[in-house]
Structure 1
Amino acid sequence: MTDASQRAIKWSYMDHWRSNGPSGPVDQWHSHKTMSAFLKQVKAVGFDAIDTFDFRIWQMYGDYGGPAKYQEMVTDHGLERIVNTFHAADYDTRTYAPHLPETHENILEDFRVTMGRWSEIQLDNIIVMPATLYYDMEPVTEDKLKHTAELWNKVGEITAGFGVKLTCHHEFFCGIQSEPDIDTFYSYTDPQYVNLFVDTAQHCIAGLDPVALYNKHAHRVSGFHFKDTRHVATGDDHRHRPDSEIMAPTTGKWFYEMGTPQGLVDFEAMMTAVRDNGYTGWISVEHDKANKEGGDYSESTAISRWYAKNVLEEIYR
């Protein structure tokens, strides 16, 4: 068996999770006991590390004593570390809208403070949605894309000062989600400071081919969310307040694990592209809202890890 440190690809688990408690779904951050059970399950099926959300830092401070202390718990359960954190900002156009220059200083200060908090541990990426929700940015113009790029170039300089990559994740309801807008955005950003984080399902829902998008921008890609979908957004699916993933009336459940029947993402082609582009390092598996319509997080996690080991790792040896 190959040692994890020698493998070209390692697998991190993005920590969306719910388990069933006596009073309903229980978040793994509910207690040290529920966190321990979560970490044991993730490790048992063969993941190497975890990703988390930026807002979890408050629970790390309150329940564990900070990011370094929480990471000690992660490593005590046999996982390597925390690889990435997702900066889930509140995109309020009054204070936090990348296409509006008057909000930039507030966003920059947010990242100065945020990176200081995380400096106890070494992250690979801080992941951002690079634009407001689509309905707050439309119409998407070249000037708006330029303003947005200018902001993230500056944010990327801040994160680089802490040894962390700034990487952009394009949800299907994000202001920058079409292929032409994504291409324009990256043409205005500095490759030294702004990277792309490919979410296979989100791009597919937005009507893009995630494999083709990755091949086009492979030199800018610093990570992946591997998850599947059975649906492409139609009509105004990407325009529903406050969250299109929940509010779009056409689709009850957007996201599925790798290996799901009727999945639209060609993961074998994606893994072939990952190999052929020479990508090495971490791939994150994500199960966003896996428990909708009778789904189960632990089941989805086990199935996706089986798929990663028995299908994808056979492609990338």
Structure 2
Amino acid sequence: MKWSYMDHWRSQSPHGPIDQWESHDTMDRFLKQVAAVGYDAIDTFDFRYYQIMGMYGSVANYQEFVRERGLERIVNIFHAADYDTRNYAPHLPETHENILEDFRITMDRWSGIELDNIIVMPATLYYDMEPVTEDKIKITADLWNKVGEITGDAGVKLTCHHEFFCGIQSKEELDTFYANTDPRFVNLFVDTAQHCIASVDPVEFYEQYADRVTGFHFKDTRHRDLIGDYRRRPDSEIMAETTPRWFYEMGDEGGLVDFEAFMRAVVRNGYDRWLTVEHDKANKLGGDHAESTAIARWYAKNVLERVAAEESGR
């Protein structure tokens, strides 16, 4: 069982909060901390490509920097697109050629290393897509079938990650989307907290689509969105007045995700790929990314790996 860490990170410096991309030294310390507490690899964002080129000269050079700090490789990239309905909206066919070209360029940029998945949010923000109709979801599905062929030709799986503010987030919308996507080209990346916030049981959802799942974001939440915060402009994770912090590490005392049941399901379904821990905005309300990362790794090792061993032995 191998664990990757999605590289959300903030730390304090003499000139205020910084992320690990501030310098070679901050990246060096970040990677060593992640390796020291027992993670095996990292995931990163596609938009980091420009910083990688500026700081390391190539994607392959950056991966070598990662390996020298004790981590195996970069496993997945998250393609965090700017969903501007004028030119990048999966439910609008007139934007599809632009999106397809974007992925042709993206796969070329990352061709210097082996990746497992390129992760996408498969729809615009909910308020830019609503009313969310079956026809719009089918148009969206058609696009991602085509994108999945592009990424597949590059040896990388296309996998879909549904934030609670994504245009496709309810159980009915998810079922419609996956009924209209080709499992050869479009996979699922389960985010335990995001689905829970959207009132989709992550364990049941994973069980239903286990044969299409190519990865996870393991993180917890204390809240479900019961008042339509997924429609908040411009950013549901920041603007929700009722919920100042959405995400917490696994093992959080107030967490809603049943991670032990989730891990049993993972083992029962024979999943044998990477598991990814994510801590999005862990520094809110006095939180600390380094602390959350260490606590989550402790929980993974001392709780989830034990549960997995017990389930495997049955």
Q: Could you tell me the TM-score, scaled by structure 1's length?
A: 0.97
Which residue of 2 is the match for residue 286 of structure 1? 278
Could you say what the CA RMSD is over the residues aligned between the two structures, in angstroms? 0.5
Code of the residue aligned with 2:130 in structure 1: it is E
The question of 1:131 aligning with 2:123 is answered: yes
Q: 1:82 aligns with which of 56, 74, 81?
A: 74
Structure 2 alignment gaps of length 5 or more: 310-314
Which residue of 1 is the match for residue 263 of structure 2? 271
Which residue of 2 is the match for residue 52 of structure 1? 44
Overall identity of the aligned pairs, in %: 74
Shift of 1:236: 2.4
Q: 1:106 aligns with which of 98, 113, 126?
A: 98
Structure 1 alignment gaps of length 5 or more: 1-8
**Partner of 1:284: helix, strand, or coil?**
strand
Code of the residue aligned with 2:195 in structure 1: it is H
Which residue of 2 is the match for residue 160 of structure 1? 152
Which residue of 1 is the match for residue 204 of structure 2? 212
More displaced, 20-29 or 115-124? Answer: 20-29
**Partner of 2:199: helix, strand, or coil?**
coil
**In the aligned structure 1, how far is the partner of 2:72 from the partner of 2:9?**
19
The question of 1:254 aligning with 2:254 is answered: no
Runs of 4+ displaced beyond 2 Å: none
**In the aligned structure 2, how far is the partner of 1:250 from the partner of 1:178?**
20
**In the aligned structure 2, how far is the partner of 1:137 from the partner of 1:235?**
18
Code of the residue aligned with 2:95 in structure 1: it is T
Q: 1:118 aligns with which of 102, 110, 115?
A: 110
Shift of 1:23: 1.6
**In the aligned structure 2, how far is the partner of 1:291 from the partner of 1:142?**
38
**Partner of 1:50: helix, strand, or coil?**
strand
- Count of aligned pairs: 309
Shift of 1:65: 0.7
Map Cα deviations across residues 34-80 of structure 1 (whole Å, 9 max, x no partner). Answer: 00000000000000000000000101100011110000000001100
Code of the residue aligned with 2:71 in structure 1: it is L
Shift of 1:234: 2.1
Which residue of 1 is the match for residue 27 of structure 2? 35
Code of the residue aligned with 1:137 in structure 2: it is M
Q: Could you tell me the TM-score, scaled by structure 2's length?
A: 0.98
**In the aligned structure 1, how far is the partner of 2:228 from the partner of 2:241?**
9
The question of 1:226 aligning with 2:218 is answered: yes
**In the aligned structure 2, how far is the partner of 1:215 from the partner of 1:82?**
27
Q: 1:69 aligns with which of 42, 61, 84?
A: 61
**In the aligned structure 1, how far is the partner of 2:95 from the partner of 2:242?**
34
More displaced, 267-276 or 230-239? Answer: 230-239
Shift of 1:169: 0.2
Which residue of 2 is the match for residue 310 of structure 1? 302
